[in-house]
Structures are given as structure tokens and as C-alpha cells.
Amino acid sequence: TKGTPVSDMMREINVSASAVGNHEFDWGIGYFKRWQEDGGFPFLAANIINKKTNKTAEWARPYLIVERNGVKVAFIGLTTIETPFLTSKENLENLEFIDPSKAAQQWIDFLNSGKDKAGKPDIIVALTHIASYQDKTDGKITGKEINDLCNKTKGLNAVISGHGHKVVCGYINNIPVVQAYCHCRALGILKVAFNDKNKLEKITPAIIEI
């Protein structure tokens, strides 16, 4: 069905945006437009670059700003650099997967400068298909890409992780990280608290098992 049931589900639950995973490339890049139209959401891919244009792949955006209850939330889409090794290489012929932390910082700086027409966001969240793993004893979160993202960037408020198929709920460098298992078996939550001056006070990650 080339993803049709997934598009139906995405529309039904009113998804605002999706990161790009490695399996989105299993049938080539010809389905991205249809998936977004059918699912009612954009793909975000700040670190997937078209080699010919040296810009973000034309079927995706680098980021999206959504407003909820007067709060502007920016999502920056990031994909694991493992992707070229996890799908058919001929489907990625004109694409380059750059370091997620470097791509993230570029767009964090852009967003914090207020250059988007929506203005400067109140919080910036990395919406990723980048794996994370968590030690059940001490709660430490591992994974080189996810740690680089949290430790080598400045201005990131939270990370939504994926790809690792594990439950992760914790912090790296005081940045909340959540990964909601796999196959829709859990829901990842980022509870965001602001003071009366609309200044971010705290983001608390949580997992609800479904």
C-alpha cells in the first residue's frame, strides 16, 4: 500500500509534523508529496541536503513553528546519518545527510534571530529520527548522535527521539529527551511550563504506555 494506512492514521490524530526516517526511502523519494497531502502534515528535514541545490530537500522543510495557547513552538526536523546504510543507496543518489548537531545549530540561530515571519519562538524542539538508549539502573541516555545534538548545540530546549525502538525519558546536558518505544505502543509527552511573563521555566518528559 506504500504507506497509505500510515497517512490515514496521521490525519486522524491530527499530526502537526513528522521527522524523516530511514524507511521513508525504501521506495525512493517519489512518495513524499503524496504522504504529506494525504496525511495533512509536513516532513521536516533540516539535515537532508539536495546535492545539486545545496539546500534542504525540496519535499521537506527544515523547521515548522506552531502556536498553541499563545506559545510559539518551533520544531527542527533531523534524521540519523545512519540512513544511507539502512535503505537502498540508489534512492539517496542526490542526497547528503549532514551532521544533525551542525544543522540544528544553524536553524536554532536563524529562529532565535527572529527572521521567520512568525517571529522568535518561545521554545525550540528537535523532532528527530535519531536513536537514543537509556540505562535502566542509572538513567543515563546513550547514543553518539543524540549526545552530540544535546551537548554541541546551544539554544535547544528539548528533543523527541526515534529510531532506537526503546523507551527513553530523561535528560542530556539538562535537555529533556523522550523516545516513545515503537509501533504506536507508547506516547511521549513533553510538559512545558511557562511563568506569567510567558518565559519558559521547565520542560518535563514523560511516557504513557498504551
List pLDDT tens digits, range 4-46. 999 999 999 999 999 999 999 999 999 999 999 999 999 999 9
Grade residue 197 by pLDDT with cuts at 50, 70 and 90: confident
Q: What separation, in Å, do the N-terminal and C-terminal C-alpha atoms of the chain show? A: 26
What is the chain's mean pLDDT, rounded?
Answer: 96
Asked whether the predicted pLDDT for residue 196 surpasses 90, the reply is: no
pTM here is 0.97
What is the reported pLDDT for 69? 87
Asked whether the predicted pLDDT for residue 198 surpasses 90, the reply is: no
| pLDDT (average), residues 135-142 | 97
pLDDT digits (tens, 9 = 90+) for 144-194: 999 999 999 999 999 999 999 999 999 999 999 999 999 999 999 999 999
